Amino acid sequence: MIIQIMSNLFEEGYLRRDKYTLLSPFFSNGNVAFRREALSQVAPYDGNCYSGEDQDMCFRLAKSGWELYFARDAVVRHKSRTTLRAFMRQWFNYGFHHPYLFKKHDFKGLRIYRPDNRKDKSAIYKDSLRVRFPFPILIFLTPFLALHILLALAILFAAIGLHIPAIVSGGFTLALALSYFRSDIDARNPFRTCAFVFFRYVVNLALLLGGLLGGAKRGMLYISATFDYKG
Amino acid sequence: MENNFVVSVVIATRNRAESLRDTLASLTRQSRKPDEVVVVDNASSDHTRDIALSFVDRLNLKYVYEATRGIPHARNAGIQNSSGDIVAFIDDDCVADEDWLRHLEIPFVKDPHIGVVGGEISYFKVGDDMLEAFYIQNMTSGQRTDSKR
């Protein structure tokens, strides 16, 4: 499975096939059913997909003209077994293997997505820049990424002795951090707060690094969206 | 509902025999019984085969061994070795709610243009640590927070 980057999947019904892209919502193949007639047109699964084979399959079906339907009452329950190491490795791998799909389906140019804060949460990111470029670049301007850029700026300003800009950048970093980790902060339970902030940070870092390394392997710059995708 | 669909359920699994037992048990409790269940053993070294075969009296079960490791290979073996008009997949670390297969089948009956139907994956607690609490809070897809069982 790969992240549901662009949208939440929670409303019963058809997915938008006319606007279906590799970044569209897809069905995790942990809970999915195919019409054999459709499968036989696009099968087999791509043996080179170490993860994301489900996304690849949904994309190919949509391109062949088949409708995709989300049945929210067809519920399976997943065991939440995990260790921090397994959790990080899982998201590292999603990031690492995602660029294979981009290259396979001919991703080109420079594309930047930014958060789409619409109320109904039907999309999480929107296409904010799409230009021709000789080298494939895909960037999600997430708060997580912004946090690191601001922090780097603060450190840089401090290092070269520009104190006022350093304090301003540091202040923005702190404000953004508080906003980003707000769902983890529970004043009555500092231990839980620290643990949740730590988990969120390291898992997102694993995903980001996985994306960067996987992108490098496939000859592209890929800055992944974060795993906490609820917008 | 009136239809003549043959529905196969494919489970690709590797070295998760005990968990597979729960998955298969949940298939025996379906309100819409699977017409066929194909267990694809993806080169397991544990007792996966024994667990799978212990269900042959309760499910129309076919055991398939796939030596090439990897999810896509296992799923392809499942497609090739199943006969249903509808092929449903569930993972070996999941259990299905009783009406799971019924709800997956309904859209195919209603609209012949539908090629794929996806369902909801929710998470259940097996332990009581903070990482698990975090995992459940963040991994649950969509907005489903109710736990209807």
Mean pLDDT of chain A: 88
Low-confidence ranges of chain A (pLDDT < 50): 1-2, 231
Give pLDDT tens digits for B45-58.
999 999 999 999 99
| Token couple for A149 | 């850029």
Tokens 């290092």 sit at which residue? Answer: A159
Per-residue pLDDT, A109: 93
Tokens 């499942």 sit at which residue? Answer: B78
Residue B2 in this model has a pLDDT that exceeds 60: no
Residue type, A209: L
Helix (H, G, I), strand (E, B) or coil at B73: helix
Per-residue pLDDT, A199: 94
Per-residue pLDDT, A212: 97
Give pLDDT tens digits for A91-143.
999 999 999 999 999 889 999 988 877 666 556 777 888 899 999 999 999 89
Q: Which residues in chain B touch residue A63, judged by CB atoms under 8 angstroms apart?
A: none
Could you tell me which CATH class the domain B7-118 is placed in? alpha beta
Per-residue pLDDT, A6: 55
**At what angle are helices A143-159 and A163-180 packed, to 10 degrees?**
160
- In chain A, the residue whose alpha carbon lies closest to the alpha carbon of B117 is A69
Confidence band of B140 (pLDDT split at 50, 70, 90): low
Q: How far apart are CA A29 and CA B88, in angstroms?
A: 9
**A182 touches B at CB < 8 Å:** no
Question: A184: closest CA among A197, A198, A174?
Answer: A197
| C-beta atoms of A74 and B139 within 8 A | no
Give pLDDT tens digits for B19-29.
999 999 999 99
Average pLDDT of the residues in B80-98:
96
Q: Quote the percentage of chain B above a pLDDT of 70.
A: 91
Query: pTM of the full predicted structure?
Result: 0.89
Q: How far apart are the first and last CA of chain A?
A: 19
Mean pLDDT of chain B: 90
**A28 touches B at CB < 8 Å:** yes
What are the residue ranges spanned by the domains of chain B? 7-118, 121-149
**B59 touches A at CB < 8 Å:** no
| C-beta atoms of A35 and B86 within 8 A | yes
Give pLDDT tens digits for A72-85.
999 999 887 678 99
Per-residue pLDDT, A52: 86
In order of A51, B6, B54, B61, B131, the CA distances from B29 in angstroms are: 30, 18, 16, 15, 31
- State how far residue A149 is from chain B, nearest Cα, in angstroms: 25
ipTM of the complex as predicted: 0.92
Q: Which residues in chain A touch residue B68, judged by CB atoms under 8 angstroms apart?
A: 47
Edge to edge, what strands does the sheet with A125-131 contain? Answer: A125-131, A110-115, A137-140, A221-223
| C-beta atoms of A87 and B131 within 8 A | yes
Q: How far apart are CA B84 and CA B79, in angstroms?
A: 9
